[in-house]
Structure 1
Amino acid sequence: MSKSRRDFLKLSALASGMLFVPNFLHASQGMGLLGNSNGRRLVVIQLSGGNDGLNTVIPFEDDLYYKARPSLAINSGKVLQLQNGLGFHPSLDKMRQLYDQGFLTVMNSVGYPNPDRSHFRSTDIWHTASASDEYLKTGWLGRYLDSCCTGSSAAHMALEIDDSLSLALKGEKYNGMAVQDVRRFYQASQDRFLKQMAKTHHHDAHEHHQVDYLYKTLINSQQSAEYLHQQVRAYRSNQEYPKGEFSKNLKTIAELITSGVESRVYYASLSGFDTHIRQEAQQARLLQELSEGLYSFVQDLRQHQAFDDTLIVVFSEFGRRVNQNASNGTDHGTANNLFLIGGKLQKAGIYNAAPNLADLDAGDLKHQIDFRNIYATLLQNWMQADAGAVLGGSFKALDKLV
């Protein structure tokens, strides 16, 4: 076996083990926020599996809701009432507190034309901001990086708190970075063998391009690990968070933000929402985990005066069908609710009308708001980016949102 082949195999294994992601740019390479960024950041939370929106934001005054779900509907006496005949699932008490404080906007019936009920395809559509019959290889947040990065002098960070990178954060020129634990990532990067490989590597015109690429990835990852470690090593959040992986990931994001890491985008997920059977207990547990984790996260940011510059978006790839199924669950549907959480919302509360259960599309909710209009609003009004360049189309920003 040739030396290049051996090096390639070694580096491939090491890159996989250390969660290396190419094109991650950091402060030591001259990273800085663009002049018009105002230091704002976006935190995206994905509820993977298709959360049942009708049992999350409940139309408790609508008889059609109870008719469609004779055993699965939430009793009106247990609903955490909001306004306009809508209320939260009883597990969302902490989110109800954020709502009462003016920190939460509920957007109803969010979706897209000709919806797809496949988890994988619908997730791709949300990640890439594509039409339902369009297949893109880059994500909307990755294209945001492509649009706003002008070489190393104005690069932006995007971090996913996970062990793999979602399509949403993959661009043509720049990618985000996936890291589960900053301290473990740094420790792995300090491996003596890895450091020696990075130190002694010199580009050779005859070297296999894949080997050279992996060496560069190794070097970038080591530098990135060093930067993150330097930022967070002296800080530990003293905010109490619930137990569980999701809350732990939110705490990691809070520590990164309050440590001064200049990332513009953070991404995290909570999975398990594919509730075809015995939905009641499973969804209640997940919604409580979501609600309590987000509440602690908000308190953490507020404690460090970082909340007003942070906007949290909570979405799921689709909702569920209006009628319950025979297994006390719900099957894949279409439009769903979406939440915005922040200290600078222009229209906190219920943003638009409740779903019309008397006007369905073959048993599914019709979407009122195209999710790409929400993306356009976030990009243009919050992140101060060129939404048209990122989304590749003319999607009008929504009024009185952010």
Structure 2
Amino acid sequence: MPTSRRDFLRTSALASTLLLVPKFLHALDRGPGLAGLRDAAGARRLIVVQLGGGNDGLNTVIPYRNDLYYKARPTLGIKEAEGILGLEKDLGLHPALKGLKGLYDQGQLAVLNSVGYPNPDRSHFRSMDIWQSGSGSEQVVSTGWLGRYLDSSCADCQRPYNALEIDDTLSLALKGRQRKGLALKTPDKFHQLTQNRLLSKVSQETAPAHQEQVDYLYKTLAETASSADYLYDKSKIYKSTVAYPNSDFGKNLKTTAELINSGVESRVFYLALSGFDTHVRQHEQQQRLFTDLGDGLAALADDLRQHDQWNNTLVLVFSEFGRRVGQNASNGTDHGTANNVFLAGGALAKKGVLNAAPDLANLDQGDLRHQIDFRSIYASVLKDWLGADDFAILGTGFERMPGLV
């Protein structure tokens, strides 16, 4: 064995520190890649944007002609004269969401109201787990809906970068039983991380025979180093000149567009925008966050459109729950239930506002009742957009929404 046992143990500890917890994600097993994966330019991809903290959906898609809305929110309710961006069905977008309004005007945005699940949980962590796992509130599931997509539809896949989270840590959503996505902030930083001299040396060597755990460590190190090299090399192909918001979220969207336009063979991208837990001073927080969200997604669409990639892309935007219908005493809102979901893309099958506004006259103890189970949206995306087996991934009982994507 070229490396001594002491060196190997030291390397293992270093690998754990730098990569395994929390930045390193186990690589996918050996085997051929996704069918058609090499045709990166024409294959469909999904970008998921998570609004962390529980976004207030009623001040996002505003029922500005409903008196009950203003009765429940005498100071927090946004008035039409303040610049609400009109949609249809007596609804309008928050004034800061000009980027989303532009996509709507181009027929590239779909709005789904009152999305949730039975027996909703108002804990950030638990509700996010439910959305990321695609489970019910009575279940505890250790895998994510997109991780199970990798398990089910990428059974022979060896590439860790089939699903990428543009962040330092991997979310539950991208963790399957056999397969996991890969988390990285930028290709440069990820490549630099794997260039540690000792790690690089170990990743190129052969593991000793009959030592399963050691073999697995060697294998994952080698595959991670290979993925880092691939993503780093690909990322040099295209550098965006599109103006994105000067924020972490804007930079992450720009990284996503650069990877896509460079031809990276990834089918799922996962991003997060946090800060939506607006118990106090909601107006100021949403104004800032929505400017980031709307302008960022508009820039992403423009970037991908310039390289004929927008029609192959579907963006799904969600938050773990909405807020209470009534405002609180601190010019904010407290944890609620059902919420909006946005879909954006250049080839949407359905566009505009796809269902009725929330029923403010029929509340559940001050909270919205859900009209749509979020897993029906997932099922439609999995089957009709990604071509996966939604039953194998989500289980039965969730009807797809015909012609959604």
CA distance in 1, matches of 2:303, 2:289: 21
Structure 1 residues 248, 389: closer, same or farther in 2, change over 3 A?
A: same
- Select the residue among 73, 77, 84 that pairs with 1:73: 77
CA distance in 2, matches of 1:25, 1:179: 19
CA distance in 1, matches of 2:348, 2:115: 18
Match of 1:52 in 2: 56
Match of 1:250 in 2: 253
Specify the SS of the correspondent of 1:43: strand
- TM superposition score normalised by structure 1: 0.94
Deviates more, 1:288-297 or 1:152-161: 152-161
Specify the SS of the correspondent of 1:263: coil
Within 5 Å, which residues of 2 pair with 1:322-361? Answer: 322-361=325-364
Match of 2:199 in 1: 194
Structure 1 residues 14, 278: closer, same or farther in 2, change over 3 A?
A: closer
Residue 400 of structure 2 is aligned to residue 397 of structure 1? yes
- Give 1:30 shift: 4.3
Within 5 Å, which residues of 2 pair with 1:20-39? Answer: 20-24=24-28, 30-34=32-36, 39=43
Residue 128 of structure 2 is aligned to residue 126 of structure 1? no
Structure 1 residues 18, 273: closer, same or farther in 2, change over 3 A?
A: closer
Deviates more, 1:229-238 or 1:133-142: 229-238
1:51 aligned partner, one-letter code? N
Within 5 Å, which residues of 2 pair with 1:252-331? Answer: 252-331=255-334
Specify the SS of the correspondent of 1:340: strand
1:15–1:218 contact (8 Å) kept in structure 2: no
- Give 1:397 shift: 0.8
2:277 aligned partner, one-letter code? D
1:232–1:256 contact (8 Å) kept in structure 2: yes
CA distance in 2, matches of 1:265, 1:14: 24
2:150 aligned partner, one-letter code? L
Structure 1 residues 136, 275: closer, same or farther in 2, change over 3 A?
A: same
Specify the SS of the correspondent of 1:314: strand
- Give 1:301 shift: 0.4
Question: What is the number of residues matched between the two proteins?
Answer: 397
CA distance in 2, matches of 1:384, 1:229: 29
Specify the SS of the correspondent of 1:223: helix
- Give 1:7 shift: 4.4
2:44 aligned partner, one-letter code? R
Structure 1 residues 253, 214: closer, same or farther in 2, change over 3 A?
A: same
Deviates more, 1:385-394 or 1:118-127: 385-394
1:89 aligned partner, one-letter code? H
2:244–2:296 contact (8 Å) kept in structure 1: yes
Structure 1 residues 326, 18: closer, same or farther in 2, change over 3 A?
A: closer
Match of 2:227 in 1: 224
CA distance in 1, matches of 2:93, 2:248: 24
Match of 1:367 in 2: 370
Match of 1:376 in 2: 379
Superimposed CA distance per residue, residues 222-261 of structure 1 (whole angstroms, 9 cap, x where no aligned partner): 0000111121113201111120000100000001111111
Superimposed CA distance per residue, residues 86-143 of structure 1 (whole angstroms, 9 cap, x where no aligned partner): 0011001121111011000010000000000000000000001111000100000000
- Select the residue among 92, 97, 109 that pairs with 2:97: 92
Match of 1:13 in 2: 17
- Give 1:70 shift: 0.5
- TM superposition score normalised by structure 2: 0.93
CA distance in 2, matches of 1:111, 1:299: 31
Structure 1 residues 7, 254: closer, same or farther in 2, change over 3 A?
A: closer
Long gaps (5+) in structure 1:
none
CA distance in 2, matches of 1:238, 1:318: 35
Residue 45 of structure 2 is aligned to residue 41 of structure 1? yes
1:129–1:139 contact (8 Å) kept in structure 2: yes
Structure 1 residues 295, 228: closer, same or farther in 2, change over 3 A?
A: same
2:308 aligned partner, one-letter code? Q
Match of 1:146 in 2: 151
CA distance in 2, matches of 1:343, 1:211: 46
1:115–1:122 contact (8 Å) kept in structure 2: yes
- Select the residue among 386, 390, 394 that pairs with 1:387: 390
CA distance in 1, matches of 2:205, 2:141: 38
- Give 1:17 shift: 7.7
Long gaps (5+) in structure 2:
none
Structure 1 residues 378, 292: closer, same or farther in 2, change over 3 A?
A: same
2:165–2:181 contact (8 Å) kept in structure 1: yes
- Give 1:73 shift: 0.4
2:110–2:342 contact (8 Å) kept in structure 1: yes
Match of 1:238 in 2: 241
2:29–2:158 contact (8 Å) kept in structure 1: no
Match of 2:181 in 1: 176
